[in-house]
Chain A
C-alpha cells in the first residue's frame, strides 16, 4: 500500500517461482457485495498453455472473478493462486506476470499507439532499449506497425482492441486475462482478433483466460470452457465433454417422414431403445439410448412410407449455452 516507503522487491526471477503446471487455481472463491453474492464458491484450475473460456451471461460475475485473480479486489472467502502467488498478498508479483485487458479497452487518446505502449513498459520497469524493441515487436505482431505514431483517437474499435493486445504483450506476460475481448467487434474483426490470440498463445507459450458472453465466437479457440451463471460454475470441460454431459448418454434424432401424424409416432415408439418422441418445429425429435437410425429407416421403409430426413443432432455450444443458461 505504501509504495512510497517500500522498496520494490526486485522483479522475481522466473527461477524462484514454484515449479508447477497449474497456472491459475481458485478454491471455494467467494465474493459478496453486501447481500449480493457475485461469485459463489468458484473452483477453477487452468493448466499451462490452455485457452480457457469463461462463458456466461452479463452480470454472471466474470469480471469480478477476473478482478480477484488480478488482485484488484479482495475475495470475501476462499483462496486464489496465480503461478503460485497469492493476489491478495503479492499483487505486484501477480501483476508482473499477468497481462490484463479490461472489458472496455481504454487508451490515452492524445498519445500515439507507441507512446501508450511506452507508458505501459515504463510502468513495468522495462529498460528503454528493451521496451522499444518489445513494442516494435508487439505492434508488428498485431499489425499496427504502420500506424504506430498516429494518435489513438483516430483508431477504429478493432484497432484499439488489437492495440490492447499489444499492450498486454509488452510486459512479456506468462498469463493473459482478456475480459470480453470480442465485444462490439464485427465478425471479421472478431476472427482476426481470435486468430491473433491463438497465434500469440502458441508463440509466447501463454496461458489465456478469456471471458465472453458470445460463445459462438470464442468456441473456436478455447481448449476448455466453463459455464458461469449467477456466480456459479455450472459446468466445465472441453466442448465435447460438455455436450456429452448435457446429453446424459442420450441421443437426439431429427426425423421427418410422410405420413407424419400419430401413426409415425406410434411406429417410432415401438423401436427398441427409443425413449421419447416429441414434436419440434419441423421434425419429430426422437430420444434414444442407442444408435437406432438403421432401425428407424428400415421400419419406415417396411411400411412403404417416405423418409425425408433422419439426422442425429449434436450439441453445439449454442445448445449447451441455451440449455445451461435457461436453468
Chain B
C-alpha cells in the first residue's frame, strides 16, 4: 500500500502544481462564472416562480452563452485528457519508469496511484469551481438553495467527476497503448471530437439502417426508430452524461425516453423528488462507471503484462 500512496502523493503534487491544471481550472472557472452570471441576470428579469431558481442557474442559457452543463460537458473531457494523456508513456519516454519499477513497490501501484491522483485532482478542481460558481449565483439572484436543490447539485458534481473520470481512464489507456505522447493526445482528442460532435449524426444514420421510415405516417416505425437512435447514442459517454445531468438539474424531467401522448393523460406536472430522479439516472451512471472500468482494465492489463524492455 505504501507504494500506491507514494505514487499518489507525488502525482497529486505534480498535477496541482502543473501549468496545464492551472490553465484548465482558470478556463473552466471563467466559462462557468460567465454562464452562471448571465443565467442569473435573465432569471432575475423574468422570475415569477422562485421554486428551483438555484437549479435554473446551471440550466439556463441566455444570449450567445451556453448553459453551465454544456460548458462542463464540452470542457470536462479536455481536463481528463490533459491530466492523463502522458501518464505512462511520459515516464517511459523520460526513462523514469524503469527506475520507478526498480523500487520495492508492486507494478500496479504505479498505474493505480496515477489514476487515483488524476481523479482526485479532477474532484478538487470541479468541487472548487462549483463552489465559486454557486456563490456568484446565490449573490446575484439572492435566493438560497433548498436542501433538495443542494442535494441535486451535489449529485450533478458527482456525475461530472465520474464523466471526467471516464476521460481520465480513456487517456490512461491511450498512454499505455501508444508509445508517443503526441499520438496518445491526438487519439484522445479524436475520441473527444467524435463523441462531442459526430455521435448524433452517426446514430441517426445507423438508426435509419435498422428501421426504414416510410413517407407515410407510421407511429410504430417512428417509435422504433427513436428507440434505436437513443439506445445507440447511449453507448457514448457524452449522451449518458447529458441525460444524467438533465434529469438531476431539471426535477420535472420524469423520463429520458420518448413519451407517448397516452402517457401524458392524467399526469400531474409535479417535479420529481430527488430519490426518484436518482432512480431515473441510475442506468446512465452505471453505464458511465462501466465504460470507465473497461478503459482502465485495458490499460491495467496491458501495463501489467508488458515486457520491461518495451516499457
A125 CB-CB contact with B under 8 Å: yes
Asked whether, in the complex, the Cβ of A100 is within 8 Å of the Cβ of B99, the reply is yes
Asked whether, in the complex, the Cβ of B106 is within 8 Å of the Cβ of A1, the reply is yes
Known: A8-B2, A123-B6. Is A92-B104 also a contact (CB below 8 A)? yes
Nearest B residue to A94 via CB reads: B104
Asked whether, in the complex, the Cβ of A3 is within 8 Å of the Cβ of B105, the reply is yes
Segment at the interface with B among A101-109, A198-206, A256-264: A101-109
Contacting residues, chain B, for A106 (C-beta < 8 A): 94-96, 98-99
Asked whether, in the complex, the Cβ of B3 is within 8 Å of the Cβ of A104, the reply is no
Asked whether, in the complex, the Cβ of A3 is within 8 Å of the Cβ of B309, the reply is no
**Contact partner, A124, options B103, B106, B108, Cβ 8 Å:** B103
Known: A4-B4, A73-B308, A106-B94. Is A125-B112 also a contact (CB below 8 A)? no
Asked whether, in the complex, the Cβ of B104 is within 8 Å of the Cβ of A125, the reply is yes
Contacting residues, chain B, for A109 (C-beta < 8 A): 94
Asked whether, in the complex, the Cβ of A123 is within 8 Å of the Cβ of B100, the reply is yes
Shortest CB distance B136–A (Å) = 34
B101 CB-CB contact with A under 8 Å: yes
CB contact list, B259-311 vs A, under 8 A: 304, 307-309
Tell me the bound Cα distance from A225 to B279 in angstroms: 71
Shortest CB distance A80–B (Å) = 15
Shortest CB distance A314–B (Å) = 39
- Interface of chain A: mostly helix, strand, loop or mixed: loop
Shortest CB distance A225–B (Å) = 24
**Contact partner, B108, options A3, A92, A100, A101, Cβ 8 Å:** A3
CB contact list, A86-130 vs B, under 8 A: 92-93, 95-96, 98, 100-102, 104-110, 119-120, 122-125
**Contact partner, B10, options A4, A72, A102, A122, Cβ 8 Å:** A122
CB contact list, A58-79 vs B, under 8 A: 64, 67, 70, 72-73
Tell me the bound Cα distance from A100 to B103 in angstroms: 8
- Kindly state the interface size class of chain B when it binds its partner: 20 to 34
**Contact partner, B6, options A2, A67, A100, A119, Cβ 8 Å:** A119
Interface string of B100-124 (1 = CB under 8 A from A): 1111111111001000000000000
Tell me the bound Cα distance from A171 to B99 in angstroms: 13
**Contact partner, A123, options B103, B108, B304, Cβ 8 Å:** B103
Shortest CB distance B193–A (Å) = 30
Asked whether, in the complex, the Cβ of A102 is within 8 Å of the Cβ of B106, the reply is no
A14 CB-CB contact with B under 8 Å: no
Asked whether, in the complex, the Cβ of A70 is within 8 Å of the Cβ of B104, the reply is no
**Contact partner, B4, options A3, A93, A101, A110, Cβ 8 Å:** A3
Asked whether, in the complex, the Cβ of A73 is within 8 Å of the Cβ of B106, the reply is no
Asked whether, in the complex, the Cβ of A123 is within 8 Å of the Cβ of B106, the reply is no
Shortest CB distance B11–A (Å) = 10
Asked whether, in the complex, the Cβ of B102 is within 8 Å of the Cβ of A72, the reply is yes
Contacting residues, chain A, for B10 (C-beta < 8 A): 119, 122
Known: A1-B304, A3-B1, A4-B112. Is A67-B100 also a contact (CB below 8 A)? no
A6 CB-CB contact with B under 8 Å: yes
CB contact list, B121-175 vs A, under 8 A: none
A binding-site residues for B, Cβ under 8 Å: 1-4, 6-8, 33, 64, 67, 70, 72-73, 92-93, 95-96, 98, 100-102, 104-110, 119-120, 122-125, 167, 171
Not counting A105-B99, A122-B10, A124-B104, a sample of 6 additional A-B residue pairs whose C-beta atoms are within 8 angstroms of each other reads A1-B108, A3-B109, A67-B309, A92-B106, A100-B99, A104-B95
22 chain-A/chain-B pairs, Cβ below 8 angstroms: A1-B107, A2-B108, A3-B1, A8-B2, A8-B3, A64-B309, A67-B308, A70-B102, A73-B309, A92-B104, A92-B105, A95-B103, A95-B104, A102-B98, A106-B99, A107-B96, A110-B14, A120-B103, A123-B3, A123-B6, A123-B104, A167-B99
Which 6 A-B residue pairings sit nearest by Cβ, starting from the closest? Answer: A3-B106, A106-B95, A122-B6, A100-B102, A123-B103, A95-B104
